[in-house]
Amino acid sequence: MAMVMDMNEDTVLAMESTAYEPHHAPLPELSGVSSITSQSESAEIPEQQQLRVYLKVRPFSEEELRSNEEQGCVVLEDSENISLHAPKGSASMKSSEKGIGQQVYKFSFTQIFGPQCSQTEFFDGTISSQVHQFLHGQNALVFSYGVTNAGKTYTIQGSPKDPGVLPRALDAVFRHVAGRQYEHADLKPYLSADVQKLDSEQVKVEKSAKAALFSLLKEDPEPTRSSRSRSSNSSVNSLSFSSVSYDQTVDSTDVTADDGHCLYCVWVAFYEIYNEHVYDLLQPGPASRTRRRPALRVCEDSSGSSYIRDLRWVNVQNAEEASKVLRVGNKNRSAAATKMNQSSSRSHSIFTIKLIRLDGADVQGLSDLSLCDLAGSERCNKTKTFGERLKEAANINSSLLILGKCIAALRSQSHRMKSYVPFRESKLTRLFQGMFCGRGRASMIVNINQCASTYDETLHVMKFSAVAKQVLQVMPPRSIESLAPRLVGLDGKPLLRNGVIDDQAVDEYLSEEELLDGDEADMSILPQEELLSLVESLRSKLMAERRKNLIQEIQIRKEMGDAMLQQITEAEELHSRQLEDLKESYEEKMDSTFEMYKEALKEHAYQCALERLEEDYIPIEEYSEEQERAQALEKRVFELEQKCRCSGAQPLTQDSSVQTSPLPSTDTDAERYKMLYKDKCAVENLCVEKQELIVSLERRVRELNETLQEAGESYMEKLAEVQTLQNRLSNQEQKAECLESDASAREQEIGRLREEVQRASVCVGSSRASVCVGSRPRCGLLLNIKESMTPPSTGGLCRTIRKSVRATTLRKKPS
Ligand SMILES: Nc1ncnc2c1ncn2[C@@H]1O[C@H](COP(=O)(O)OP(=O)(O)OP(=O)(O)O)[C@@H](O)[C@H]1O
C-alpha cells in the first residue's frame, strides 16, 4: 500500500480503478518475503508502456486461392500500418453503400508481419524481448487473438519444421539456464507467486509422476488425428527443438554479472479453459469416455492474485522434456474439425513456464511466462456449428467478449476515465488480471487471414486490436530482490530463513494469509508472548483491514455504478442511433414503395384510359355521318323557324318541334328532361321559399305567443290592482256615507240650533225694549256661534270626496 501512496497520480488512478485486488497494491510486493522496498525505491516513477500489439498475416492456402478468396482485402502499407478494403458482398461493403461505415479502414500496430515472414523473424521481432525480461525476473503474458483459421495455433506452436513462439521461448529459456540448472527439484511453484520446499518423498513423487506423464507419449509415439488432438501440420506433437535456430537474441551468452552465479529451476504447466471450465492438460483423462474430466478451481491467494488450485506443475530439465509436456497437453486439448478449420481449437490453451531463481539455497525470484492460444472467434452461421460445437462457440465468443470489455475498460482507464474492469466475469480474464494490473507485461498477437469470405470478422478483430493498442500498462518500479517469493513448506507455512525465524515473514504471513484462511495458520510454532502480541497486532490489523475493505467496497460499488451508468448511456445512444438508422431506412423504403405505387397507379390509369378508349371508339365514318345528320337537322329547325316568323306565328316550342319535326327520340327525351329538370328546380325553389315562409311564420307565431303570455300576465296584475282599488272605493264609499249621515246629523243639529237662535232672538226682541243698552255684544256672540256651527258648504264637501274617489279609481283602471 505504501507503494501505491508513493506512486504518482497516474499510477494511483490506473490501479485504483481496476477493481483489481482487495489490497490495491502491486501483487508481487505483497507476496514476497522481502517485499518492503525502501522509500527511495518506491519514489521511482512507475514505467508506463502501451500494450504491444503485433499483427501476423497468414498466407493463403492453395484451396483458398482456388476458391477466389484473394480479392485484395488486406493491404500492407508499411511495417506498422495496414488497410482493409471491403470486398463485394461483405456486410461492411453493404453497409458502406448505405452510408454506414467505410469501405476502407486503416489500422496501425506495434509491428506488422506479412505472409512471407518466417517464424524466426516473427519471434525475434515480437516476444524475444519479453522472454529476455522474463529471464530477468519479469512476468509476461503473450496471447494470440483472431478469427478461427487465422493461424493462432500455428503462430504459438508452429509446425515441426518451423516451430512457433512457444517452443522458441522454451528453447531460449533452456539456452539461458544451460549449465546452471538446480538439480534437486525440491522447489516447486506454490499458489500464484510463492515457492514450496518439497521433502525427499515429495521429490520422488514428482519424479515418478513426470515419468508416468512421459510414458503416455511412448504409448502413442506418433501424433494421430482424433477429435481431441491437434492435426500434425499445425501442432508440435512431434516437435523437435533441434529445428529451432536462433540468432542468439536470447541465449546463454546473455548472462549479466549479477546472475552469473545464480541457479535456475524450470517448471511448466499446461491447461485449457473449455466451456468456462479449467482443465489440466497434463492430468490423464478419465478412463471411460462417459466420465467427465475433473475441472479445476480458480482461486485467489492472500495478495489477490489468481492461481489454479491443484494445477499440475512439471519440473523440466531441458527443452526436450518441455517438448514432451507440450505434446502430452496437445493430445488432451479440445480441438475439433469445423467448417472453417480442420483442426480448430475449441478452447483457450495456456502454457505457463515458471522460473525459480536461486542464490545458493536462497530463493531469489520467481517469474512466469504464459503463452495463451485463444480459441478463434467465429460466426456460428458461417461456421455451420450446431450441438456441442455451438455451445463451445457460444462460450468462446462470450469469454472473448468479456476480454474485449476488459480491454476497452482498461483503455478508458488509460485515458483517465473511471471505468470498471469486469475481470471476474470469465475465467480467462480472472487469470489475466494480474498481468494487466502491474504484475507483468502483456502483449497481444493478432492473427488474420486475407480471405474475402471472413472479411467482416477480420475487421472486427482489427477494431478490437485498435482498442487494445491504446491500453497503457503501468509497471511499478521494483528491484529483482523485491520480487523474491515467499518460501513455504509442504503445509504451506513460511519457512525459516537462514536458520532464524523471519519475524517479518511470519508477520506478513499471518496478516495476509490468516485473515483469509484461518485453517492454514499454525501459531503453535511461536512462543507464547509473541503469540499474544501477534493476536493484538492481528486484531488491530483485522480492524484496519475491515475498514479498508469497506472503503474499497464502496469505491468499487461506486465505480460499478458509474460504469453501468456509462454503459446505459452508451447503450441508449447506440439505440437512438440505431433507431435513427432504422427510421431513415424505413423512410427510404417507404419512399421507394410510394414511388412504386405511384408508378403502378399511373400505369393502371393509363391502361384504363386505353380500355375506355377502346370501348368508346367510334369509327370516323360513323362520326362524320352523325355530324352531317345533326347539321341537317339544325338546318331544318332554322328553316322551320324562319317559316314561322314569316307566317307571323310564334317560334316553335321545343315540344311542338318534337311533334312536328322528325327529331330522333333521344333529342326529345333530352328536351323533356331539361324541362322536367327546370320544373323540378322551380318546385325546389318554391319549396325552399315556402319553407322559409313557414319558418318565418312559425317565428312570428312564437313571438305572438310570447306577447300574449306577457299580456295575460300583465292583465292578471291589472286585475289584481282593480280588485284592490274596488275594495278601496267601497271603503271610501262607506266612509262617504258615514260622513253624509254625519253631515245630515249636523244639519239637523244646526236646524235645531237655528230654531233655538230664532227663539232666543224673539226673546231678545221682546226684552230689547226693556234693555236697549248693551244689546250689540250679545248679537255678536250668537252670530259667531252660528257661523262656527254652519258648515261653509256641507254638500260640496261630499261632492269633493266623491269626486276624488272617482278620479283615483279611474286613474287606476287599465287603459
Ligand atoms: N504462417 C503460416 N504459414 C503457413 N501456413 C499457415 C500459417 N499460419 C497458419 N497456417 C495454416 O493455416 C491453418 C489454420 O491455422 P491454425 O489452426 O493455426 O488457425 P487458428 O487460428 O488456430 O484456428 P482455430 O482458432 O480454429 O484453432 C493451418 O492449416 C495452418 O497450418
Domain boundaries, given as residue ranges, for the chain: 2-68+113-175+191-318+335-490, 527-617, 665-812
Ligand 1: distance of its center to the CA of 336 in Å?
14
Q: Which three cell numbers stand for residue 187?
A: 522447489
CA atoms of 32 and 497, how far apart (whole Å): 13
Ligand 1: distance of its center to the CA of 217 in Å?
24
Using the structure block, give the residue that is written with the C-alpha cell 515441426: 160
Q: Does 158 show up as a binding residue in the annotation? A: no
Contact at 8 Å (CB) between 77 and 487? no
20 lines ligand 1 (CB under 6 A): no
Q: What is the DSSP string of 687-708?
A: HHHHHHHHHHHHHHHHHHHHHH
Grouping H, G, I as helix, E, B as strand and the rest as coil, residue 537 is helix
Atom from ligand 1 closest to the CA of residue 447 = 21
CA distances 645 to 640, 650, 653, Å, are 9, 7, 13
148 lines ligand 1 (CB under 6 A): yes
Q: Which of 154, 161, 345 to mutate to test the pocket of ligand 1 (most atoms within 8 A of CB)?
A: 154
pLDDT for 659 beyond 70? no
Grouping H, G, I as helix, E, B as strand and the rest as coil, residue 54 is strand
Which residue owns the Cα nearest ligand 1 atom 28? 234
Digit-coded pLDDT (tens) for 136-147:
889 999 999 998
375 lines ligand 1 (CB under 6 A): yes
H or E element at residue 218:
helix 200-219
Contact at 8 Å (CB) between 353 and 266? yes
ipTM of this complex prediction, to 2 decimal places: 0.97
Q: Which three cell numbers stand for residue 782?
A: 250668537
Q: Does 561 show up as a binding residue in the annotation? A: no
CA atoms of 325 and 319, how far apart (whole Å): 10
Going 23 to 27 to 32 to 36, the CA torsion angle's sign is negative
Inter-axis angle of helices 128-135 and 165-177, to 10 degrees?
A: 30
H or E element at residue 364:
strand 362-373
HSE-CB for 227 with a 13 A CA cutoff: 3
CA atoms of 143 and 157, how far apart (whole Å): 12
Going 472 to 476 to 477 to 481, the CA torsion angle's sign is negative
Residue 124's nearest CA partner among 243, 255, 244, 249 is: 249
56 lines ligand 1 (CB under 6 A): no
Q: Cα dihedral angle (392, 397, 402, 406), rounded to 10 degrees?
A: 130
Which residue owns the Cα nearest ligand 1 atom 2? 58
Ligand 1: distance of its center to the CA of 535 in Å?
59
Eight-state DSSP code of residue 494: B
Grouping H, G, I as helix, E, B as strand and the rest as coil, residue 769 is coil
Digit-coded pLDDT (tens) for 37-56:
333 344 455 677 889 999 99
154 lines ligand 1 (CB under 6 A): yes
Superfamily of domain 2-68+113-175+191-318+335-490: Kinesin motor domain (3.40.850.10)
Note the pLDDT of residue 370. 96
Contact at 8 Å (CB) between 452 and 69? yes
Q: What residue type is 280 in one-letter code?
A: D
Q: What is the DSSP string of 236-275?
A: -TT--GGG----SSSSTT---SGGGG-EEEEEEEEEEEET
H or E element at residue 440:
strand 440-448
Digit-coded pLDDT (tens) for 117-134:
999 999 999 999 999 999
* Beta-strand relationship, 111-113 and 52-57: parallel
Q: Does 149 show up as a binding residue in the annotation? A: yes
| pTM, full prediction | 0.57
Ligand 1: distance of its center to the CA of 370 in Å?
20
Residues in contact with 350: Cβ distance below 8 Å, sequence separation at least 6, in sequence order: 270, 271, 272, 273, 370, 371, 372, 373, 431
Q: Does 152 show up as a binding residue in the annotation? A: yes
Residue 188's nearest CA partner among 169, 164, 167, 210 is: 210
230 lines ligand 1 (CB under 6 A): no
Ligand 1: distance of its center to the CA of 128 in Å?
21
Digit-coded pLDDT (tens) for 438-497:
888 999 999 999 999 999 989 989 998 998 988 888 776 654 444 567 777 766 666 655
Q: Does 150 show up as a binding residue in the annotation? A: yes
Share of the chain above pLDDT 70, in %: 69
Digit-coded pLDDT (tens) for 699-754:
888 898 998 999 989 899 999 999 999 999 999 999 999 999 999 999 999 999 98
Digit-coded pLDDT (tens) for 78-107:
999 999 999 988 888 888 888 887 899 999
DSSP β-bridge partners for residue 693: none
Q: List helix spans (H) across 374-502.
A: 380-383, 388-414, 427-436, 455-468
pLDDT for 391 beyond 70? no
